[in-house]
Amino acid sequence: MKTILIDSDRQKTYAKSLIDEMAIDGSSEVITKKVDKSSTSKQRGLKWRWNKDVADSGLGGNDTPATVHLWNKKEFGHPILLRDDENYAILFKGFRDHVKHLDDYIDRMKWFVEHKLETEGFSRGQQAEYLTEVQKYWADKGVNLCDPDDYGKNLLRFKPKQEVQK
Protein backbone atom coordinates (compact mmCIF):
# COMPACT_ATOMS: atom_id res chain seq x y z
CA MET A 1 0.00 0.00 0.00
CA LYS A 2 1.28 3.46 -0.86
CA THR A 3 0.26 6.65 0.89
CA ILE A 4 0.97 9.97 -0.77
CA LEU A 5 0.45 13.22 1.09
CA ILE A 6 -0.52 15.90 -1.43
CA ASP A 7 1.45 18.85 -0.10
CA SER A 8 3.04 20.10 -3.33
CA ASP A 9 2.40 20.22 -7.05
CA ARG A 10 5.09 17.58 -7.49
CA GLN A 11 3.29 15.14 -5.17
CA LYS A 12 0.00 15.82 -6.96
CA THR A 13 1.64 15.11 -10.34
CA TYR A 14 3.20 11.93 -8.92
CA ALA A 15 -0.19 10.70 -7.68
CA LYS A 16 -1.78 11.41 -11.08
CA SER A 17 1.05 9.56 -12.83
CA LEU A 18 0.60 6.51 -10.62
CA ILE A 19 -3.12 6.45 -11.40
CA ASP A 20 -2.46 6.87 -15.13
CA GLU A 21 -0.16 3.81 -15.05
CA MET A 22 -2.74 1.57 -13.38
CA ALA A 23 -4.45 -1.07 -15.45
CA ILE A 24 -8.22 -0.73 -15.76
CA ASP A 25 -8.87 -4.31 -14.71
CA GLY A 26 -10.07 -3.93 -11.12
CA SER A 27 -6.73 -5.01 -9.65
CA SER A 28 -5.98 -1.62 -8.06
CA GLU A 29 -7.88 0.61 -5.70
CA VAL A 30 -7.33 4.31 -4.98
CA ILE A 31 -8.57 5.73 -1.70
CA THR A 32 -8.53 9.43 -0.92
CA LYS A 33 -9.19 11.01 2.41
CA LYS A 34 -9.04 14.45 3.91
CA VAL A 35 -6.40 14.74 6.60
CA ASP A 36 -5.82 17.48 9.07
CA LYS A 37 -2.86 18.24 11.23
CA SER A 38 -4.55 17.80 14.59
CA SER A 39 -3.28 15.12 16.92
CA THR A 40 -4.75 11.70 16.35
CA SER A 41 -6.98 9.79 18.72
CA LYS A 42 -4.25 7.11 18.93
CA GLN A 43 -1.74 9.73 20.08
CA ARG A 44 -4.15 11.06 22.70
CA GLY A 45 -5.01 7.53 23.85
CA LEU A 46 -1.34 6.59 24.11
CA LYS A 47 -0.67 9.73 26.16
CA TRP A 48 -3.29 8.70 28.72
CA ARG A 49 -2.11 5.08 28.72
CA TRP A 50 1.40 6.26 29.53
CA ASN A 51 0.04 8.57 32.23
CA LYS A 52 -1.54 5.47 33.79
CA ASP A 53 1.68 3.45 33.41
CA VAL A 54 3.63 6.18 35.23
CA ALA A 55 0.99 6.50 37.96
CA ASP A 56 1.03 2.72 38.46
CA SER A 57 4.84 2.78 38.76
CA GLY A 58 4.76 4.93 41.88
CA LEU A 59 7.60 7.12 40.59
CA GLY A 60 7.56 10.89 40.55
CA GLY A 61 5.13 11.30 43.44
CA ASN A 62 2.18 11.09 41.05
CA ASP A 63 -0.46 8.57 42.03
CA THR A 64 -3.12 9.19 39.37
CA PRO A 65 -3.01 9.57 35.60
CA ALA A 66 -4.37 13.11 36.05
CA THR A 67 -1.49 14.20 38.28
CA VAL A 68 1.02 12.59 35.90
CA HIS A 69 -0.64 14.49 33.05
CA LEU A 70 -0.25 17.81 34.90
CA TRP A 71 3.41 17.11 35.58
CA ASN A 72 4.08 16.03 31.99
CA LYS A 73 2.27 19.11 30.63
CA LYS A 74 4.46 21.39 32.71
CA GLU A 75 7.71 19.61 31.87
CA PHE A 76 7.19 18.74 28.19
CA GLY A 77 4.14 20.62 26.89
CA HIS A 78 5.06 24.03 28.26
CA PRO A 79 8.33 24.39 26.25
CA ILE A 80 6.54 23.36 23.04
CA LEU A 81 3.82 25.95 23.55
CA LEU A 82 6.30 28.68 24.49
CA ARG A 83 8.15 27.99 21.25
CA ASP A 84 5.18 27.50 18.90
CA ASP A 85 2.27 29.55 20.26
CA GLU A 86 2.91 33.28 20.53
CA ASN A 87 -0.41 33.92 22.31
CA TYR A 88 0.37 31.28 24.94
CA ALA A 89 3.85 32.75 25.45
CA ILE A 90 2.43 36.26 25.96
CA LEU A 91 -0.26 34.98 28.33
CA PHE A 92 2.20 32.89 30.35
CA LYS A 93 4.84 35.60 30.68
CA GLY A 94 2.25 38.22 31.60
CA PHE A 95 0.65 35.96 34.21
CA ARG A 96 4.02 34.96 35.66
CA ASP A 97 5.16 38.58 35.88
CA HIS A 98 1.87 39.56 37.52
CA VAL A 99 2.00 36.90 40.28
CA LYS A 100 5.73 36.37 40.84
CA HIS A 101 5.81 38.68 43.87
CA LEU A 102 2.83 37.02 45.60
CA ASP A 103 3.18 34.63 48.53
CA ASP A 104 1.10 32.00 46.74
CA TYR A 105 3.09 32.25 43.49
CA ILE A 106 3.65 28.48 43.26
CA ASP A 107 -0.05 27.73 43.75
CA ARG A 108 -0.99 30.28 41.11
CA MET A 109 1.49 28.84 38.62
CA LYS A 110 0.10 25.34 39.30
CA TRP A 111 -3.35 26.77 38.57
CA PHE A 112 -2.06 28.23 35.30
CA VAL A 113 -0.63 24.88 34.20
CA GLU A 114 -3.82 23.06 35.14
CA HIS A 115 -6.23 25.50 33.49
CA LYS A 116 -4.36 27.28 30.68
CA LEU A 117 -1.75 24.84 29.39
CA GLU A 118 -3.63 22.62 26.93
CA THR A 119 -2.03 19.73 25.06
CA GLU A 120 -5.29 18.69 23.37
CA GLY A 121 -4.81 21.34 20.69
CA PHE A 122 -1.36 20.08 19.72
CA SER A 123 -0.73 19.32 16.07
CA ARG A 124 0.35 15.80 15.16
CA GLY A 125 3.96 16.94 15.07
CA GLN A 126 3.74 18.68 18.43
CA GLN A 127 1.99 15.67 19.97
CA ALA A 128 4.67 13.36 18.54
CA GLU A 129 7.41 15.58 20.01
CA TYR A 130 5.59 15.68 23.36
CA LEU A 131 5.13 11.89 23.45
CA THR A 132 8.76 11.32 22.49
CA GLU A 133 9.93 13.51 25.37
CA VAL A 134 7.54 11.80 27.80
CA GLN A 135 8.72 8.37 26.64
CA LYS A 136 12.42 9.24 26.90
CA TYR A 137 12.09 10.73 30.37
CA TRP A 138 10.01 7.99 31.98
CA ALA A 139 11.76 5.12 30.20
CA ASP A 140 15.09 6.49 31.50
CA LYS A 141 13.54 6.34 34.99
CA GLY A 142 12.74 2.65 34.43
CA VAL A 143 8.98 2.96 33.98
CA ASN A 144 7.54 0.12 31.93
CA LEU A 145 5.57 2.10 29.32
CA CYS A 146 3.41 0.18 26.90
CA ASP A 147 4.96 -0.16 23.46
CA PRO A 148 3.46 2.41 21.03
CA ASP A 149 3.46 -0.24 18.29
CA ASP A 150 1.29 -2.52 20.44
CA TYR A 151 -1.02 0.18 21.81
CA GLY A 152 -4.62 -0.46 20.93
CA LYS A 153 -4.03 -3.96 19.62
CA ASN A 154 -5.22 -5.67 22.81
CA LEU A 155 -2.49 -8.27 22.48
CA LEU A 156 -2.38 -11.16 24.87
CA ARG A 157 1.07 -11.48 26.37
CA PHE A 158 0.51 -15.16 26.98
CA LYS A 159 -1.93 -16.86 24.68
CA PRO A 160 -4.05 -19.52 26.35
CA LYS A 161 -3.27 -23.08 25.37
CA GLN A 162 -5.61 -24.41 22.78
CA GLU A 163 -6.96 -27.86 23.29
CA VAL A 164 -6.36 -30.22 20.43
CA GLN A 165 -9.56 -31.90 19.34
CA LYS A 166 -9.27 -35.59 18.48
pLDDT at 45: 87
Per-residue pLDDT, averaged over 133-162, amounts to: 72
Higher pLDDT, 131 or 36: 131
Chain-centroid distance of CA 151 in Å reads 12
Q: Is the pTM of this model over 0.85?
A: no
- Alpha-carbon separation of residue 63 from 7, 59, 70, 131 (angstroms): 43, 8, 12, 20
Percent of the chain with pLDDT over 70: 86
pLDDT at 38: 64
